[in-house]
Chains A and B, each alone.
Chain A
């Protein structure tokens, strides 16, 4: 075990990229991602990290340069937020379609308009179907650990897919937390050098990114679907290895109190820590409540999730994004779809909270629980569909 050190989460991510011995970084500054790229720039400038940092003129080019670098056989990293991710949209799908193991730390921020630099999950939810493996972290330690693990998972020849690590903008990115950085020796043991499955090499010429005629496109997509589904096994193995190395255990769905809970909160990211605190308090008062924090978003861990909510009578889903005019928040829609699919008749109560940096307090979370408990007792919900927490009327 190393030593816990107080450091900003963005710095910890940059240090993790250094520990991973990343070859090429390409990024464009955007709040609240900036501290990640600033610290990486310093590490490169000081010679602490032997990498090429391509200071591009847009996020579109940032990811495009990562695609080129990764295809040339370099370990590649980028980081962005909100509008930056939206500008990368086109290339996100190409990176996964070309099966390039790029790693991205995404400081979650709300999408404009109105322009907001503050935190929610609208940026990442808009890119849900981009074909990248997607994680959500709750704290700085996870952000650091997942960044190192991401390279190993992405570069596994069976996977060969890019990875996004979602960490909440400001709430995590600018927070100073006690974090244990693994030693370089441990990381070197855990993460072997990148051996590309295929690369741009003059001694073995290859055409990458050709036209896919209708006879080929469907099969290419099916291969990609299979790869991301099968990555679950690789992720679990990776986490086992990590536990042996650092003693920290990770699961696709992290739980607290779900074993005997009637009501289970389902959420993602840093908000889960607040919910966990609330759940502890409520359980202290004798309430049968738990929380399931979805750490692995893509591939969605169906079986893990269903096992966690096996005994629950009601699920509270807390979304941090709206699907305008849709059947609920993006997380709630997925959960409802999954439950329907598996014939589970569990009541789902939906809340949308913390949009555009709006604070979500322990009191707010307790309020969600009280409402849900009332519904479980047969009280009628105030309105159909989701309720937005903290909305001024």
Chain B
């Protein structure tokens, strides 16, 4: 069931919590993930949203796309704001001032709001053990401000602040491993999700909802605008990200790793890179100082990371 990669619409609740008419770009994988995740979370959910794409496209006064309570404060503090909401409900429930019912407290942010400017507030909230879920919607750059690089922009990607040029192949650093950082806090649940694998996504959100304490969900969020790919390729690009091993789908429950969509036989990374123009310059790039082409370096890194993941799975299930 969990490994089924086919989308079965009737398995999902019909209720929608993100209303139609929001201003997300055509083919946005992020809003698709938000929609699916909130279908699972349901109406007893309160969201603290960081500044970013999802904030601006869903909340331009006097319109709102949200059918659940939603609060936006600033860019770097969604986790701290969620800490406050969760604590308030804890004490108000204790004092009998609010009904005693289960509420999902959610903080959401983009890759910049999570891994760069918001990492301190996130670390604090994870460490304090609030009963909340942090969801990072990772579209791999500051898309809202015009495709500037973040610490989650992949190696070799050309962005407006890491452009490829005569002396640069684009982003020169490797993507920060946010899931490992979250896991290092000793939280009960962390996972990677991808809207191109909706059943896997749904199962992980359901599991996260059932666990008390801090949960970290890292969601691969396709961005045709920033990745420079056709908007009808969103799902295909997301599938290739997993099938090439670029974005493996796994979960870490109480320190135990499990690859939820195993890809022991992976497609070559070129298959993924060639779908997006942010990587176009890499495909014709020659060898670098270390004797490898950028594509070879990416392939090597992906294989190493995947092996490490398999090893962790093996070690924690021994």
Contact = CB atoms under 8 A, between A and B. Distances in A.
Interface of A: 23-24, 26, 50-52, 54-58, 60-62, 64-74, 76, 90-91, 94, 98, 193, 200-202, 205-213, 216
Contacts of A23: 88, 91-92, 95
A50 B71 contact: no
Contacts of A69: 84-85, 87-88
Contacts of A65: 80-81, 83-84, 87
B88 to A, nearest CB: 4
A211 B85 contact: no
Contact of A216 (B61, B91, B123): B61
Contacts of B81: 64-65, 67-68
Given A61-B121, A64-B80, 16 more contacts: A50-B91, A54-B87, A60-B76, A67-B81, A68-B80, A70-B88, A71-B84, A72-B46, A74-B87, A74-B88, A94-B74, A202-B45, A202-B69, A209-B71, A210-B64, A211-B61
Given A51-B91, A205-B68, A209-B72, A72 B84 contact: yes
Given A200-B46, A200-B85, A90 B92 contact: no
Interface stretch (B52-60, B160-168, B171-179): B52-60
A177 to B, nearest CB: 31
The 6 closest A-B pairs by CB, nearest first: A68-B84, A57-B124, A65-B84, A210-B59, A61-B80, A74-B88
Contact of B84 (A26, A55, A208, A210): A26
> By DSSP majority rule, is chain A's interface helix, strand, loop, or mixed?
mixed
Contacts of A98: 73
Interface of B: 43-46, 48, 55-56, 59-62, 64, 66-74, 76-77, 79-92, 94-95, 97-98, 101, 103, 120-121, 123-124, 127-128
Contacts of A55: 128
Contact of A210 (B45, B46, B60): B60
Nearest to A90: B74
Contacts of B68: 202, 205
Nearest to A23: B91
A206 B59 CA distance: 11
Contact of B77 (A51, A61, A208): A61
B59 A64 contact: no
B108 to A, nearest CB: 13
25 contacts: A23-B95, A24-B84, A24-B87, A26-B87, A50-B95, A54-B128, A56-B80, A57-B121, A57-B123, A57-B124, A57-B127, A61-B120, A64-B121, A65-B84, A66-B84, A68-B88, A71-B71, A71-B85, A72-B85, A73-B92, A76-B84, A210-B61, A210-B64, A211-B56, A211-B61
